[in-house]
Structure formats: C-alpha cells, structure tokens
Amino acid sequence: MVDTTMATSSAADRGLPTTGHVVQFYGHDSELVERVVGYLLGAVEAGDVAIVVATPAHRRAMQARLADTGVDVAAALRGGTFRFLDAEQTMRRFLVDDWPDPGGFASVIGGLIRRALGSGRSVRVFGEMVALLWDAGHVNAALELESLWNELGRQLPFALFCAYPTTSVAGADLDAFAQVCGLHTAVLPTKPAITSGEESATVVVGGVGARERILATAHALFSRRGIRRVGVNELIASSAVAKATFYRHFPSKDALVLAYLARSEQLWTRDLVEAGARRRGDTPAERLLAIFDVFDEWFARDDFEGCAFINLLLEMGADHPLGQASIGHLDEVRDIVRRWATEAGLAEVESFARSWHILMVGSIISAAEGDVAAARRAQQLSLRLIEQHRPVRT
C-alpha cells in the first residue's frame, strides 16, 4: 500500500503533530501540501484514521502527492484510513448567519469524529474551515470555531492540525493573531519570507512584521506555559525568524518578557478591564462593579489563562527584576481602582484600592481553580466594600 521508506522519511523530517491542536501559517500551497501529506503518511504508518477537511484544490494536490509516495489512495479511502471532505460544504452544515452554531458543530464534526473513533483506531484531523472564515472577513467567527474545536478536543481524543495562509493574517489585528496562536497547543515553524536579505531589519511573514510575530508568539507561549519553560530557540522557531533578527528586536529573553508585560498591560489592563468596565458603567461606582462583569465573561473564555502579571510574579518571585516589573503593572490596575474610587467620593481610597485588588486577584485564582461563579461571588463582596468606604454623613 505504501513505500514505507519514503513515508517514514517524509513524516520524520517535518516534526509533525500527532497530538494536540496545532497551527501552521504557510507561504505557499506546496509548503502546506508537503506538511499535510507527511501528517497523513504518519496516519498510514500508525494505523490511524485521517480526516481531511480542505478546499478542492488542496484535496487534489494532497491525493496526488500521496500517490507519488506510493500510497494507494483509493484503497485507503475504501479501508477508512482516509476521509476527504470539502471544507466549504462541511462548514455550511453548521453555520448560522456565518457564525458557527455549537450544536450544529457538535452534531456534524463531533459525529464525524465519533464514528471514526468507533473503528477502534486513533484519529487525526486536518482542517482549513477556519481559514475560509478568516479569508471571508469573519475573523471572530474563525476564533469561535477554533474554540469549538478545543471544546470538542476536551470531550474526544483526536489530534487536530489547522492551517492559515500567511496572506490571510497579513495586516491582521495583532490581538486577533495572538488569539489564534493562543487557541493552539503549538505553532509550527515555517520558512520566513525576508524582504532584503537574511540580515534585513524587517522580516515579513505574509505581511506580519518580525517584531510583531515574535511578540504574538511569545504572548501565546508565555501565557500558556510560563516564562522559564519557554526557551529562546523555541521562540525563534515558532516565530519563523532568524536568530539575528530575533536578537535585533529583543537583545535578551528578559527584554522580550518586559515587552510581553507591556503588551499585556495594553491588551488586558487597558483594553479588556478598563475599557470593558467603562462601556458597562456610567458612573465611577458602576464601573468598579462592572470590572467583575468583565471578569465573568473573561473567565468563561476558552483562552482564559489567568493574569499575566500574577502568573509571572508567582513564577519569578518578587525579588527578581521581572517580578518587580509585574508588581509595577499590578499597581497600574490598582491605579484604575484608585481613580474611580476617588471620583465616586469614597473614603480611604488607598485602603479601598488594596482591598478591591484582593477581590480581583482572588477571583482570578478561584476561576483558575475552576470556580465558574468566582466573578459573581467577588462582585457581591465588592458591594459591601463600597458601602464600607462611603463617607460617614453627620
């Protein structure tokens, strides 16, 4: 059925995923086809079931390349080793107004994987439905679909390999790009396109600048695994940049961590917490309480990994320079509380801000433990705290 010498070489040379939910950002279709074919050859060798949900052009190219390696594709299809599906048609079975319906996804995709698992074999999936949504301008729908895949992965044992053309993420919002990376267990390295030689100051992967790509990759890896467990070599490989380019933008790993903290302050402190509470509350007191409404939604998100500042402080310690930097960023959070408490006319503002911050930190840790009501519990306590700090009228 297959020339095992060719297959083993093809699979081994690519560092192919056999577990988890990984993503590849590819520059050319040929690059994607080679990567996926190695993934499928691994299924043949292991006796797994491989499900491919791809565009017609990619399905044809993959089947032709498989045949070139010696695979009898028709026999593999008949035997249930391969299942090729059209990405657009499959996706339309569970989309409602261009948004993935959780029930429909569970029925269509969950049912497909359950049937494959029923054969008693391991299952691996390649899919590019998310890329089609992203290309169509439905970025949030693509992120939602990634989250649904993760939810299904907690229910059923299978490996998932997603891919986006780098032209799709070119010029994308950095937060959206970071969310894509964060919704995967690994980002597979690709060959970077370099604008003017290996030592160019600007390395562009499909239009995403080198510094931004390094920072987005670091954000995803540091948030999920911490600082010490992520090495520079992994950051370089996952960011698809040259070592010289990495060190040009970040002279040391600590410099990158500091940039990660600054970025977290913008994305979390300013954009999520402060801006989110402002949208929900008209008065300073309402904004304070709305912080926990923001937290309630945040805790329910698939990419909830806790607070970057708390995580790093606990990992590195208060005496470490990075721990000290985290303390400074946490004080920026308290400063928002101080400002709104002052505007609300509360008494003993510093004491109030410290106590309020304890409720915020405690709810984050409780949510990480699995308490789905952590934010609502903290909000109930915060009501009492506000009353305690209202000025005494004489």
Residue 394 lies in a domain: no
Among 230, 250, 270, the domain boundary falls at 250
Give CA–CA dist 255/251, Å, rounded: 6
Residue 89 lies in a domain: yes
- φ, ψ of residue 76 to 5 degrees: the values are -65, -35
- Are the C-beta atoms of residues 42 and 117 closer than 8 Å to each other? no
| Sequence-separated (6 or more) residues with CB below 8 Å from residue 263 | 215, 219
> How many domains, the chain?
3
**Per-residue tokens: 130:** 């998310």
Residue 393 lies in a domain: no
- φ, ψ of residue 47 to 5 degrees: the values are 75, 25
Predicted pLDDT at 200: 36
Does one domain contain both 379 and 323?
Answer: yes
Residue type, 15: G
Residue 180 lies in a domain: yes
CATH of the domain at 209: 1.10.10.60
| Sequence-separated (6 or more) residues with CB below 8 Å from residue 250 | 214, 256, 259
Does one domain contain both 220 and 238?
Answer: yes
Give the sign of the dihedral formed by CA 212, CA 191, CA 242, CA 201.
negative
Among 250, 269, 297, the domain boundary falls at 250
What one-character-per-residue DSSP string does 311-328 give?
HHHHHH-TTSHHHHHHHH
Does one domain contain both 93 and 203?
Answer: no
Does one domain contain both 232 and 275?
Answer: no
Q: Of 294, 282, 376, 284, whose CA–CA distance to 338 is shortest?
A: 284
**Per-residue tokens: 4:** 């095992």
| 349-382-273 Cα angle (round to 5) | 80
Phi-psi group of 206: left, alpha or beta (phi > 0 → left; psi -120 to 50 → alpha; rest → beta): left
Give CA–CA dist 354/88, Å, rounded: 52
Does one domain contain both 273 and 352?
Answer: yes
CA-to-CA separations, 182 to 7, 158, 176, 310, 360, in angstroms, rounded: 31, 19, 10, 18, 23
The range of the structural domain enclosing residue 231 comes to 194-250
Give CA–CA dist 157/65, Å, rounded: 28
Residue pLDDT tens, the chain, 394 long: 333 333 333 333 344 656 788 888 887 888 899 889 999 999 999 999 999 999 999 999 999 999 998 999 999 999 999 999 999 999 999 999 999 999 999 999 999 999 999 999 999 999 999 999 998 889 889 999 999 999 999 999 999 999 998 777 755 566 677 778 878 887 776 544 333 333 333 333 433 468 888 888 898 889 889 999 999 999 998 887 888 989 988 989 999 999 999 988 888 998 889 999 999 999 999 999 999 999 999 999 877 889 999 999 999 999 999 999 999 999 999 999 999 999 999 999 999 999 999 999 999 999 999 999 999 999 999 999 999 999 877 5
CATH of the domain at 283: 1.10.357.10
Residue 325 lies in a domain: yes
Does one domain contain both 159 and 308?
Answer: no
Predicted pLDDT at 171: 54
Burial pattern 116-137, b for ≥16 Cβ within 10 A else e, equals beeeebbbbbbbbbbbbbbeee
Does one domain contain both 317 and 376?
Answer: yes
Residue 83 lies in a domain: yes
Does one domain contain both 182 and 199?
Answer: no
| 132-136-137 Cα angle (round to 5) | 120
Does one domain contain both 35 and 163?
Answer: yes
**Per-residue tokens: 338:** 């101080």
Does one domain contain both 163 and 145?
Answer: yes
CATH of the domain at 129: 3.40.50.300
What residue has token string 């994305």?
Answer: 267
Does one domain contain both 174 and 215?
Answer: no
Does one domain contain both 35 and 180?
Answer: yes
Residue 234 lies in a domain: yes
CA-to-CA separations, 156 to 113, 114, 150, 162, 211, in angstroms, rounded: 8, 8, 10, 17, 37
Residue type, 245: T
